[in-house]
Amino acid sequence: MSPADSKLPVAIFLQRYWGDKMTFVERQLTGLSKDFELSILTPVDETQGQSKRFPIFSKEKNFAEKIYSGLYKKAFSRFTTISLSQSSYWKSLIQNKNIKLIHAHFGPAGVQVLPLAKKCGISLLVSFHGYDASKLLEDKIYLSNLKELFGYEKLHIICVSEYMKKKLLSAGAPSGRITINYYGIPLEEFQFVKRESPLEKIKSGKTVKFLQIANFQEKKGHLYTVKAFRKLLDRQPNCTLTLAGSGPLKDEIESLCKSEAIGEKVFFPGAVSVKDVFSFLEDHDIFVHHSITGSSGDQEGIPNAIIEAMATAMPAISTYHAGIPELIEDGLSGFLVNEKDIDSYYKKMEAALSLDDQMGLNAYEKVKKDFNLSKQVEKLKVLYSSLILE
């Protein structure tokens, strides 16, 4: 028997499979693949040009099914469902591979794949990540679909924070079948960095560099970071801010910096590849990430970017938002402020300029203890095995 044959088979279901572009999922899958034979089931494969670590079984609806699905969805405001041809294709695959567990990422994907799990009579694990346990909970159709999902006797749920667990329980999730599994990061890729402390830099007249790495979306709070940084510069001009990333609000934030006359202090390097993130972290002193609840109700889980920064012993400033307080303890492993509180935010930025090495060390220890990818994957492996044997 080959090593691959000895691994227990598991199907991973995503509505769109992005491969390396969905870093937190891909990292988890890579860790799991050492002990499980993973097959990706997806209606849409977006991995063109990428190296493929796992077999991908992509099946789009045929033309007639697309027409019917579109009319059905328009008439009944339903979320996407699996068609007969997709169900037949994936059911055959599941039976041939003797798969006993489907792991769906994001609530709508769990709703979509539920009929397939029922037809096959196998366990269904659904990971909720953020918007699917925040703004979507205001949708009555989604809540109705979740009620059916939560009623499946072979269902188990993963959420990425205690905060999210409470939200899902309030929506009717079964309390005995829900597990918290934090996002983890590979510590070998985000090593401890011995930096000159902000306090030492200020004393010697060196520039203190603030950093955020995030797509320019409303919930990432760039607007509030820029406004707070503008106030900080009035008191501490020897600072810079790097806003790395791309996205729909990038031009708006660049224009704001120009109108605030701080364009020469704020840098926009564009999107940062996964392999270059550590270099950015290594070259900066303080991380900022002012997460807010978007106007649509969208919320974060626990942003991976903050975890990665703290893993390098960088102090971070963020908000009392979703699961972030489970990562950052205010005044100990970082700083927290209320959402959109610009005055408190800039004061925390100023306080960070007086830090020695201790807060960064506390941040590093917190990630090492609770957000280590290896530890979180090991917990997930135990859950996989128990669900397969149900």
Calpha distance 63→76 (Å, rounded) = 20
SS3 1: coil
> Which helix (H) or strand (E) element contains residue 74?
helix 63-76
Quote the crossing angle between the two packed helices 140-150 and 107-120, to the nearest 10°.
40
Which amino acid is it at 274? V
Same domain, 57 and 19: yes
| Closest to 300 in 3D by CA, of 327, 317, 321, 330 | 321
Residue 299 in domain:
yes
Domain residues for 382?
8-183+373-388
Same domain, 172 and 215: no
Same domain, 28 and 74: yes
Residue 199: which CATH number?
3.40.50.2000
Token pair listed for 103: 């792991």
Token pair listed for 217: 């979306």
Residue 214 in domain:
yes
Same domain, 167 and 262: no
Residue 61 DSSP label: -
Same domain, 221 and 286: yes
Same domain, 212 and 346: yes
What are the b/e assignments for 58-77, b being 16+ CB within 10 Å?
Answer: bbebeeebeeebeeeeeeee
Which amino acid is it at 103? H
Residue 3 in domain:
no
What are the b/e assignments for 174-188, b being 16+ CB within 10 Å?
Answer: eeeebebbbbbbebe
Annotate 365-388 with DSSP letters as a single string.
HHHHHH-BHHHHHHHHHHHHHHHH
User: Tell me, what's the pLDDT at 76?
Assistant: 60
Per-residue pLDDT of the chain (390 residues; tens, 9 = 90+): 344 558 999 999 999 999 988 889 999 999 999 999 999 999 999 998 787 889 999 998 888 888 777 766 655 656 678 899 999 999 999 999 999 999 999 999 999 999 999 999 999 999 999 889 988 999 998 999 999 999 999 999 999 999 999 999 999 999 999 999 998 999 999 999 999 999 999 999 999 999 999 999 999 999 999 999 999 999 999 999 999 999 999 999 999 999 999 999 999 999 999 889 999 999 999 999 999 999 989 889 899 999 999 999 999 999 999 999 999 999 999 999 999 999 999 999 999 999 999 999 999 999 999 999 999 999 999 999 999 998
Which amino acid is it at 195? R
Residue 1 in domain:
no
User: Tell me, what's the pLDDT at 81?
Assistant: 82
Which amino acid is it at 325? P
SS3 219: helix
Domain count, the chain: 2
Same domain, 73 and 200: no
User: Tell me, what's the pLDDT at 226?
Assistant: 98
Residue 22 DSSP label: S
User: Tell me, what's the pLDDT at 20?
Assistant: 85
| Closest to 268 in 3D by CA, of 211, 331, 315, 323 | 211
Residue 246 DSSP label: -
Token pair listed for 335: 């700083």
User: Tell me, what's the pLDDT at 3?
Assistant: 47
Number of neighbours of residue 262 by Cβ within 10 angstroms = 17
Same domain, 217 and 156: no
Token pair listed for 17: 């499979």
| Closest to 306 in 3D by CA, of 282, 294, 289 | 289
Same domain, 162 and 227: no
User: Tell me, what's the pLDDT at 2?
Assistant: 44
Residue 2 in domain:
no
Whole-prediction pTM: 0.89
- Helix, strand and coil content of the chain, in percent to the nearest 5, comes to 45, 20, 35
User: Tell me, what's the pLDDT at 1?
Assistant: 36
Same domain, 215 and 249: yes
